[in-house]
Amino acid sequence: MRNLVAEVLKKPIAQVKVVPMEIGGGFGGKLPIYLDPVAALLSKKSGRPVKIVMSRTEVFEATGPTSGTVIRVKAAAKGDRLTAVRASLFYEAGAFPGSSVGAGSMTMLAPYDVENFELHAYDVVVNKPKTAAYRAPGAPAAAFAIESVIDELARHQKVDPLVFRKVNSARKGTKMVNGIAFPRIGHEECVEAALNSDHYRSPIEGPYRGRGVASGYWFNGGMQSSVVVAVNTDGTVNLVEGSTDIGGTRASLAMQLAETLGIPYEDIRPSVVDTDSIGHNDVTGGSRTTFATGMAVYEAGMAVRREMIARAAKLWGLPEDDVEYADGVVRSKKDGRQFTFKEIAAQSARTGGPITGKASLVARGVGGAYGTHIVDVEVDPETGKVTILRYTAVQDVGTAIHPSYVEGQIQGGVVQGIGWALNEEYVFDDEGRMVNSSFLDYRMPTALDVPMIDTILVEVPNPGHPYGVRGVGEVPIVPPLAAIANAIYDATGHRFTELPMSPRRIVEALNGLA
């Protein structure tokens, strides 16, 4: 944000300070800048602080929806093997080029090892608002298309849909559509866990009830992160970072530092500071923060450990090689003498001054994340209402640093996906103006619309991160659209190829009115 505002205002970066605020989520729409340069200009003119708040309608109309899409998919199978896929993806970009069609085409086939494929991706410029990123941008629509076709293919070949996905799963070494070979990934393990789940093993019975499954993939970002770690003389530790906390990263980063230092989590005091107070941090987005800033936290923690060893060696008159650090204790390899973390911290003034560690890096070793979802639905053919009876989201989370936050990310993504599947849509008039820009007319799921979302956390550690971290925040929105469409097909025998599957569309389809 600092770089973008500076560029718009033609100011040196040093003249722009961004103070991160607490927000409940970013979801992509908060990545671009909107009113920030305007507020800065008005502040400069008036010499006073300026605050500008967008109304809900302004947010709807001016902050960029995701792309409307048209996707055509043709696929072939021999027995239980997926042999070929051809697809064309058309993504609305709005008034300027730059839709998420690239990501859609690169994620579409990521769950599968398919030898023959041909993808055509079109960025379609139209006279409508510029589209923006939205959680796993481009991937949910692409997954809706391919996973619906995979469902049809498995049914046609009389193969269980999860077994079909397992047989054809991408694995380590499988090449993505862009030619890059996957590192260790966990799609196969997700499908296996789904197959063995209580949900999938339980029967689904009754009229107009059905079950659907779908898989999805999303990348993780790497990019730049900076952190500083300072040890207080009472043994507590200040963790200073600049990654805006939009989903619990402050806690998951503190936990990684506690693990590195071998001290209690409660002794870590994390702070997210402004852009003048820390080295550059790229955006909190792209499922990168727990992974990339976590890697910086690990490196800074290791620097503190090395400094602790040096201080103890000085006190004992030993070479540093004769001292080791483990589980928050510095120990002499020669005679077993030891200092706890708190004891070394207390002596910092007479061993060389404050103990700090820092790390600034471009994170390498990104993993990727898969999810496989199972959903049971009941369709009311008279009203068109779709009731979600049961939902289980299986996801390879690498290592779940903070399991309940990970679960929260998955549940949040699923609920957004349910909204896309069943109700949410921007409605534009003939001149491209949005006509449902309020929560009265834009129908989001509420707590009354969704059951408890069960989660199964599969842990296939990312070998590129010291704790095996994979970003978890985006992929859970990818499978729900297709999983629900597949469940509605199972319940009604009607294949929906257009979203949302709203009550009107369902009544029209089931009564031959479309």
Partner 1 sequence: MARIVIPAALRNLCGGSQELDVPAATVDELLRAVDARCPGFYARVVEDGRLRPELAFAVDGEIAPLALHDALGPAAEVTIVPALGGG
Residue ranges binding partner 1 (CB under 8 A): 26-29, 31, 98, 102-103, 106, 133-137, 178-181, 183, 218-219, 221-222, 285-288, 362, 364-366, 474
Among the listed residues 92, 474, 498, 508, the single catalytic one is: 474
Closer of 168 and 287 to partner 1 (Cβ): 287
Residue 429 Cα distances to 175, 273, 460, angstroms: 43, 44, 47
Report the C-alpha gap between 30 and 21 in whole angstroms. Answer: 12
Is 474 a known active-site residue? yes
User: What is the closest distance, in whole angstroms, from the C-beta atom of residue 380 to partner 1 in the complex?
Assistant: 33
237-241 vs 69-78, strand pairing mode: unpaired
| Phi and psi, residue 160, nearest 5° | -50, 135
Closer of 21 and 181 to partner 1 (Cβ): 181
Radius of gyration (Cα) for the chain, nearest Å? 26
Report the C-alpha gap between 253 and 491 in whole angstroms. Answer: 44
| Contacts with 196 (C-beta within 8 Å, 6 or more apart), sequence order | none
> b/e per residue, 313-334, with b = 16+ CB within 10 A?
bebbebeeeebebeebbbbbee
| Residue 24 DSSP symbol | S
Closer of 110 and 240 to partner 1 (Cβ): 110
| Phi and psi, residue 240, nearest 5° | -105, 120
The DSSP element (H or E) to which 83 belongs, if any, is strand 81-94
Closer of 122 and 316 to partner 1 (Cβ): 122
Under 8 Å between Cβ of 237 and 231: yes
> Looking at the DSSP assignment, which residues form a beta bridge with residue 118?
86
Closer of 32 and 235 to partner 1 (Cβ): 32
Under 8 Å between Cβ of 53 and 34: no
Closer of 151 and 474 to partner 1 (Cβ): 474
| Contacts with 473 (C-beta within 8 Å, 6 or more apart), sequence order | 135, 247, 287, 409, 413
Residue 55, burial from CB neighbour count under 10 angstroms (0-12, 13-18, 19+): exposed
Report the C-alpha gap between 195 and 244 in whole angstroms. Answer: 37
Report whether the peptide linkage leading into residue 500 is cis, meaning its omega lies within 30 degrees of zero: yes
User: What is the closest distance, in whole angstroms, from the C-beta atom of residue 66 to partner 1 in the complex?
Assistant: 9
Residue 217 Cα distances to 287, 417, 479, 485, angstroms: 12, 14, 8, 18
Find the farthest-apart pair of alpha carbons in the chain and give their distance in angstroms, rounded: 88
Report the C-alpha gap between 279 and 19 in whole angstroms. Answer: 14
User: What is the closest distance, in whole angstroms, from the C-beta atom of residue 138 to partner 1 in the complex?
Assistant: 9
User: What is the closest distance, in whole angstroms, from the C-beta atom of residue 393 to partner 1 in the complex?
Assistant: 18
Closer of 108 and 510 to partner 1 (Cβ): 108
Closer of 392 and 395 to partner 1 (Cβ): 395
Q: Is 72 helix (H, G, I), strand (E, B) or coil?
A: strand
User: What is the closest distance, in whole angstroms, from the C-beta atom of residue 221 to partner 1 in the complex?
Assistant: 5
Residues serving a catalytic function are 474
